[in-house]
Structure 1
Amino acid sequence: MRNELGTGFGELVKLEDLKIQLAGCVKLLSVGDVVSYTLLDNGFRPDLLIYDLKTERRPFSPLSSKLGLLCGEEVVVENPAGSITPELVTEIRAALERDVPTKIRVEGEEDLAALACAAMAPFGSCLLYGLPGVGMALLKIDEAAAGRAKSFLDSMEELN
């Protein structure tokens, strides 16, 4: 499953194409520090932004200066690498129901948060996330994308 997740669900997208690609999105979701920084730095305002102030497990401080550009709720959750905790799922669900943007800072790693977002976001939402060493991926959430994400989540081992 790791290989398939590493290739991404979405399509690679270039910064110059974002305005056209994101037109009409019901909600804009951003997972990852570099993607979130890029969106904020270019005037985009995600409805949900998930980050851990790291990129490829190294500190990534440029995002800190941009986070103030997005007003709304701020939440901190614990989420170890390679997992999706119930707390993270709960906060993503709550964020998707809010009428104001939400910034979720993850203590640990947000590496699989995009999968949870894809499974729960309303159809018509746009999810942007990073593929390390490759670029920025865009997944437009529809029934097929949500179903595929839910299938992955169902196949993951639950740890107690």
Structure 2
Amino acid sequence: MSPDDPDRPDDGAYERLLVLPDDLRSELKTPLGPIETDAEVLLEEIDGPLITVGDVVTYHFLEADYTPHVALVDERTKRQQVDEEIRDTVVAETDLEAVNPPAELSTDVIDVLLEGLDADGSTTILVEGEEDLVALPAIVAAPDGASVVYGQPDEGMVHVVVTDDVRAEVRDLLERFEGDVERLWAMLDGTH
């Protein structure tokens, strides 16, 4: 997304924390866990809090009568508007909003992610921009045994069970982002 793209949030509306470098893009296309196409099957494997990243993923769980602990949505799928039924379902109970441009992680989205993880009930976060990369800090911040589920375009839902090993793998990926990685770690410090 170029700086003059009309869909890009105003720079004054958020504080940039990390930017995805071009050389890491292809590596992030490799799923961090097994891929499943049926939310009902995934629910059998989930034992602990569920964090969903993506409108279609969140929609599938809501349609299976399961509300995620934290759901991050942006009203888009594969860079296109989601259809009206999906949008209406996933944003019906929006609790928090955050600004997070594509290929970036903002302090705003990290703050609301942490607020959602700390909440007693379920939290839906509507992201202005793009929520895709938030799966990474969600994996780092989520408690052991939590499930982070995100979409893999044209394949299904990736299920990541949070463990120390997976968290370390994701921390290594985030270390390779451009920006203030130390500030990210300071924000996430104390989540375990």
TM over 0.5: yes
Q: Residue 36 of structure 1 contacts residue 63 of structure 1 at CA under 8 Å; is this kept in 2? A: no
- The C-alpha deviation readout for 1:122-151, integer Å capped at 9, x for no partner, is 111001110111111100000011111112
**One-letter code aligned to 2:45:** Q
Cα root mean square deviation, aligned = 1.6
Report the secondary structure of 1:123's partner residue: coil
Which whole-Å CA distance do the structure 1 matches of 2:132 and 2:149 have between them?
Answer: 13
Number of equivalences: 155
Match of 2:125 among 104, 108, 131: 104
| Cα deviation, residue 57, structure 1 | 1.0
- Structure 2 unaligned blocks of 5 or more: 1-23, 181-192
| Cα deviation, residue 154, structure 1 | 1.7
Paired residue for 1:63? 86
| Cα deviation, residue 116, structure 1 | 1.2
| Cα deviation, residue 117, structure 1 | 0.5
- The C-alpha deviation readout for 1:25-81, integer Å capped at 9, x for no partner, is 2x10000011011110111110000010010111113223323775xx611111110
Match of 2:58 among 9, 32, 36: 36
**One-letter code aligned to 1:51:** V
User: Which is higher, the Rg of structure 1 or of structure 2?
Assistant: 2
Does residue 56 of structure 2 align to residue 10 of structure 1?
no
Q: Residue 40 of structure 1 contacts residue 69 of structure 1 at CA under 8 Å; is this kept in 2? A: no
**One-letter code aligned to 1:20:** E
Paired residue for 1:78? 99
Paired residue for 2:72? 50
Q: Residue 101 of structure 2 contacts residue 128 of structure 2 at CA under 8 Å; is this kept in 1? A: yes
**One-letter code aligned to 1:55:** T
TM-score normalized by the length of structure 1? 0.90
Does residue 157 of structure 2 align to residue 136 of structure 1?
yes
| Cα deviation, residue 85, structure 1 | 0.5
**One-letter code aligned to 2:165:** A
Structure 1 segments (4+ residues) deviating >3 Å: 67-70
| Cα deviation, residue 21, structure 1 | 1.1
Paired residue for 1:121? 142
TM-score normalized by the length of structure 2? 0.76
Which whole-Å CA distance do the structure 2 matches of 1:140 and 1:157 have between them?
Answer: 26
- Structure 1 unaligned blocks of 5 or more: none
Which whole-Å CA distance do the structure 2 matches of 1:68 and 1:156 have between them?
Answer: 30
Paired residue for 2:190? none
